[in-house]
């Protein structure tokens, strides 16, 4: 394994601080590690002296008048090139944005007048229904405000890849593009097929980026021998695939998706050599698929004695819950080369240690293990994480991100660059809104104009220093007054939490701010060292604080101080492997800040939202990058059951954050580094599951009105009619203007609206109950990994419906509203002409519910698999019980006194 490690000479170019001590020497030192720190300080002093000499030399040159030589003119041109921007912000046209903002303000005014009318005109004959509807409408208006105002300043961005290449890839000079470590995570190879993961890995290895700058780490959190063997087979096929991709500049560079394109591959490539090589490569890929599929077939049944490797030794991961850490380097610049004899990017397999009794924190824990092992082996300054089913669709995607991260004006305060998620294998109508276009093309553009988009879990390029919990270099340190402002803020919300709890929260926030500032001071104060003797005494204290934060690994701590990445010059490969095994041990994170303040944050199944939120609270900003060709593409769950379970997991994570100390309602006020519109956006990401409660009530109200003959709105006056008309017009205008500046189609908007209702009355409801169960009773609910591939006919899984309790609430709502419509029409037929007018309003709301649930109904009545009988039985039973109980108690209708009825009858008889 050590033979495949890279030569450290090339990766040390970008190291801001280069250590001259080897890791072998570090083992012979005492626990305080003084020689490492002394050598580091000496190297900084030498670097500073050289810088002073260079400045003095330049001053002398400026004082001596002389003719400008040709070489200096070339340098001037390069300086001019260095000043050219790598990216630019393209603001939205005022013709599009000004009307949009005006309509938002107008809609707010109309909402105020509407609620004034609704509250001042109760419906006495159905007071309960009226009160329920008003409460629901107020919550919907609040949700709209949370969703709308972060879109106040949407922007677009453009990148200049030619300028990036001209600045950092000058002919005859070493390439200065920053190295990047890629993280690919997988758990279960039977649910996440190895072929899908292999395509993701192959697309990374074939990137249009210098090979010595690319390292791909594959995390196998299930310790499956199938994943290991398939990766070994993939590394062998990469020797053929990578040179083929780069020779002919094909797109995309994932073979499965390249060969499945229904386009004329001869277009613009008519040379016979390409046709011949393409056919040969396709044949090689089919043979490679056969070998991988044979491995999958063998893995379906585990042998009683466990798996055995080719050399006859037992597979260390036979017990997935109790196994040692594993690191295997497959490719690298000193390892196997491609078929043309060229160097290949590094490919490293990682499976962290698992032991009973330890909390492993699922995906977040696996990502943090990759952060540490990559810091020891390659230590690239930037990290790009991908799900195993998200392949690189644009080979220049990393260059797009570097246009922001390597720009000295823009990149200093950027913690990550987020790309939108795009998907393959979705039907044209996108019945279940898998593409999520409204979120990625509307909401994220709006957030980019504030403090940056939220982190969505994949397709994101991180600044490694931001993951380590440091603040941005340009951000001033927190003062005592600014830190104590959280106390004054908490004083105004005593109704939310007890004063003692607030004091404890403020104290913990102040302590963590102080620890974070201590780390920032440790790294930034090391830049200026004038007196080594005075600083020597504080070195041990600094190292102890780093060990409490990052863990007991001197090699890893040393890597955290290298802002521009790189590894020490004198390094022993076998020691690096040993250290890599050490940092992925299950006990390494004990009594450290991992998962609390640094790395991926624990405490929620949606660790992505939480991690990005912590970075924004420290003052970092993020950037949204939307290249014309989508950077990454993934496989979406296209059947109804998997889609609802995916939404359930996201919503459950939001509820967990809401119930945790990291809730945006009260966390991060101390430094004032999180902008208010950004805070509104984060509040929206955690409270949206609670909309399920008023949404279910609002979807039941039309059926109740039809069954009882009552209505939630009194007879409308002229003013009320104008208010209702203005409200509907403002809703339509907001949507139209939003579509205008975002470029989203009306069909995508409608699909998003439909699935908002479907997910709200099913998955979001279950997420709220599961979240409170976890908080109150400690009952933790495990989520299943979504199946990543459908190997049947195209869209074959679209009509599959698997049994799940999540399907019961929307099915019940559908049946109740359909029954209500039938009952309403039959009642109108019995009462005559006058009953048809009031019926119109009631039926309108019922049809609103049915139309929004129509994709769900269509999914239930799919062609290939009928709806599970148990779902129909439970839904009909609930609908029947509800209807019978309603007729019996009729709670929202005023009871008429029996004496009044008798008097009325007597007067009629007379």
Which residues are annotated binding-site positions for UDP-alpha-D-glucose? 185, 191-192, 221, 362
The CA distance from 506 to 484, in Å, is 8
Q: Give the Å distances, CA to CA, from 322 to 225, 247, 403, 571, 574.
A: 15, 45, 43, 31, 25
3-state secondary structure at position 483? helix
Q: Cα angle at 368 between 366 and 369, to 5 degrees?
A: 65
Annotated binding-site members? 185, 191-192, 221, 362-363, 387
Asked if residues 223 and 323 have their Cβ atoms less than 8 Å apart, the reply is yes
- Beta-sheet pairing, 414-418 with 460-463: antiparallel
Write the burial class of residue 262 (CB in 10 Å: 0-12 exposed, 13-18 middle, 19+ buried): exposed
Q: Give the Å distances, CA to CA, from 894 to 121, 415, 702, 739, 888.
A: 17, 60, 18, 45, 14
Helix (H) or strand (E) holding 277: helix 272-298
- Find the Cα–Cα–Cα–Cα dihedral 257, 262, 268, 269, rounded to 10°: 60
The CA distance from 518 to 514, in Å, is 6
The CA distance from 711 to 702, in Å, is 8
3-state secondary structure at position 121? coil
3-state secondary structure at position 83? helix
Beta carbons within 8 Å of 904's beta carbon, 6+ residues apart? none
Distance of CA 393 to the CA centre of its chain: 18
- Catalytic residues, by residue number, are 221, 608
Q: Is the peptide bond before 653 cis (omega within 30 degrees of 0)?
A: no
DSSP alpha helices (H): ranges in 345-442?
362-377, 397-405, 437-438
Q: Give the Å distances, CA to CA, from 374 to 181, 198, 367, 383, 579.
A: 7, 20, 10, 9, 11
Annotated binding-site members for Mn(2+)? 363, 387
- Beta-sheet pairing, 180-186 with 214-220: parallel
The CA distance from 741 to 873, in Å, is 46
Which residue in 478, 462, 463, 473 sits closest to 513, CA to CA?
478
Instruction: Give rounded-to-5 percent helix, strand, coil for the chain.
Output: 55, 10, 35
425 DSSP 8-state letter:
S
Rounded to whole angstroms, the maximal C-alpha distance in the chain is 124
Q: Cα angle at 497 between 496 and 501, to 5 degrees?
A: 160
The CA distance from 823 to 708, in Å, is 9
Q: Phi and psi dihedrals of 622, rounded to 5? A: -120, 170
Asked if residues 352 and 369 have their Cβ atoms less than 8 Å apart, the reply is yes
Q: Give the Å distances, CA to CA, from 401 to 155, 161, 382, 398, 410.
A: 17, 10, 10, 5, 12
Helix (H) or strand (E) holding 109: helix 94-120
Which residue in 858, 882, 12, 4 sits closest to 429, CA to CA?
858
CA atoms within 13 Å, Cβ hemisphere of 749: 16
Residue 107, strand partner residues: none
């Amino acid at each position: 394994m050590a033979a495949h490690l890279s030569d450290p000479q090339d990766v040390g170019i970008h190291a801001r601080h280069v250590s001259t001590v080897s890791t072998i020497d570090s083992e012979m030192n005492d626990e305080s590690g003084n020689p490492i720190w002394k050598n580091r300080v000496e190297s900084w002093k030498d670097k500073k002296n050289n810088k002073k000499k260079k400045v003095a030399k330049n001053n002398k040159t400026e004082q001596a008048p002389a003719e400008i030589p040709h070489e200096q003119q070339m340098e001037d041109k390069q300086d001019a090139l260095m000043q050219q921007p790598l990216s630019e912000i393209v603001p939205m046209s005022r013709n599009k944005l000004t009307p949009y903002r005006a309509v938002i303000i107008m809609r707010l005014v109309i909402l105020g007048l509407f609620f004034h009318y609704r509250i001042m005109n109760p419906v006495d004959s159905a007071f309960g229904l009226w009160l329920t509807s008003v409460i629901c409408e107020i919550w919907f208006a609040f949700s709209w405000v949370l969703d709308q105002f972060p879109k106040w300043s949407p922007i677009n961005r453009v990148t200049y890849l030619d300028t990036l290449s001209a600045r950092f890839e000058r002919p005859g000079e070493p390439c200065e593009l920053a190295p990047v470590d890629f993280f690919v995570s997988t758990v279960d190879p039977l649910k996440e097929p190895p072929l899908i993961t292999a395509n993701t890995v192959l697309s990374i290895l074939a990137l249009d980026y210098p090979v010595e700058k690319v390292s791909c780490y594959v995390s196998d959190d299930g310790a499956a021998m199938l994943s290991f063997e398939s990766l070994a087979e993939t590394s062998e096929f990469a020797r053929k695939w990578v040179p083929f991709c780069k020779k002919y500049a094909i797109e995309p560079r994932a073979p499965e998706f390249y060969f499945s394109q229904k386009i004329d591959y001869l277009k613009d490539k008519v040379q016979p050599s390409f046709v011949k090589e393409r056919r040969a490569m396709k044949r090689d890929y089919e043979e490679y698929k056969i070998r991988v599929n044979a491995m999958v077939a063998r893995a379906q049944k585990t042998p009683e004695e466990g798996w055995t490797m080719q050399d006859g030794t037992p597979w260390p991961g036979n017990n997935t819950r109790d196994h040692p850490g594993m690191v295997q380097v497959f490719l690298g610049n000193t390892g196997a080369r491609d078929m043309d004899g060229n160097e290949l990017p590094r490919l490293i397999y990682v499976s962290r240690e698992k032991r009973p009794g330890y909390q492993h924190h699922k995906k977040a824990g696996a990502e943090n293990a990759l952060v540490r092992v990559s810091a020891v082996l390659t230590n690239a300054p930037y990290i790009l994480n991908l799900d195993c089913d998200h392949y690189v669709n644009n080979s220049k995607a990393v260059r797009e991100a570097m246009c922001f991260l390597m720009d000295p004006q823009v990149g200093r305060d950027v913690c990550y660059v987020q790309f939108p998620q795009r998907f393959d294998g979705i039907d044209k109508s996108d019945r279940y809104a898998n593409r999520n276009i409204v979120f990625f093309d509307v909401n994220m553009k709006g957030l980019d104009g504030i403090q940056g988009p939220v982190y969505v879990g994949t397709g994101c390029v991180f600044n490694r220093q931001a993951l380590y919990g440091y603040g941005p270099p340009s951000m001033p340190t927190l003062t005592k007054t600014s830190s104590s402002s959280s106390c004054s803020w908490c004083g105004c919300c005593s109704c939310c939490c007890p004063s003692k709890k607030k004091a404890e929260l403020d104290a913990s926030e102040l302590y963590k701010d102080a620890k974070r500032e201590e780390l920032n001071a440790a790294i930034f104060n090391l830049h200026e060292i004038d007196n080594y003797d005075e600083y020597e005494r504080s070195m041990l204290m600094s190292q102890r604080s780093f060990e409490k934060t990052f863990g007991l690994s001197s090699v890893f701590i040393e890597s955290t101080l290298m802002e521009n990445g790189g590894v020490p010059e004198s390094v022993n490969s076998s020691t690096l492997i040993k250290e890599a095994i050490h940092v992925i041990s299950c006990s390494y994170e004990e009594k450290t800040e991992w998962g609390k303040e640094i790395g991926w944050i624990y405490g929620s199944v949606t660790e992505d939202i939480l991690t990005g939120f912590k970075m924004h609270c420290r003052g970092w900003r993020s950037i949204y990058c939307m290249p014309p060709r989508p950077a990454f593409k993934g496989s979406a769950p296209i059947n109804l059951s998997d889609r609802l379970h995916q939404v359930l997991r996201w919503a459950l994570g939001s509820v967990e954050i809401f119930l945790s100390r990291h809730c945006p309602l009260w966390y991060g006020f101390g430094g004032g580094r999180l902008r208010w519109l950004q805070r509104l956006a984060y509040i929206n990401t955690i409270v949206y599951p609670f909309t399920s409660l008023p949404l279910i009530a609002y979807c039941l109200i039309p059926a109740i009105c039809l069954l009882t003959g009552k209505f939630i709105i009194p007879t409308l006056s002229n003013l009320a009619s104008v208010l209702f008309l203005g409200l509907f017009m403002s809703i339509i205008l907001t949507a139209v203007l939003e579509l205008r500046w975002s470029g989203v189609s009306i069909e995508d908007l409608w699909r998003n609206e439909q699935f908002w209702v479907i997910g709200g009355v099913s998955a979001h409801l279950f997420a709220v109950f599961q979240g409170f169960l976890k908080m109150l009773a400690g009952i933790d609910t495990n989520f299943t990994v979504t199946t990543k591939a459908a190997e049947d006919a195209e869209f074959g899984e679209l009509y599959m419906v698997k049994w799940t309790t999540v399907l019961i609430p929307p099915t019940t709502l559908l049946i109740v509203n359909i029954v209500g419509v039938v009952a309403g029409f039959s009642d109108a037929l019995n009462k005559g002409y006058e009953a048809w007018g009031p019926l119109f309003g009631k039926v309108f709301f019922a049809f609103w519910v049915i139309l929004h649930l129509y994709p769900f109904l269509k999914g239930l009545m799919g062609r290939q698999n009928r709806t599970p009988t148990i779902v129909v039985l439970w839904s009909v039973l609930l609908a029947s019980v509800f209807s019978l109980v309603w007729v019996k108690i009729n709670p929202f209708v005023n009871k008429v006194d029996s004496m009044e009825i008798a008097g009325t009858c007597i007067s009629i008889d007379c």
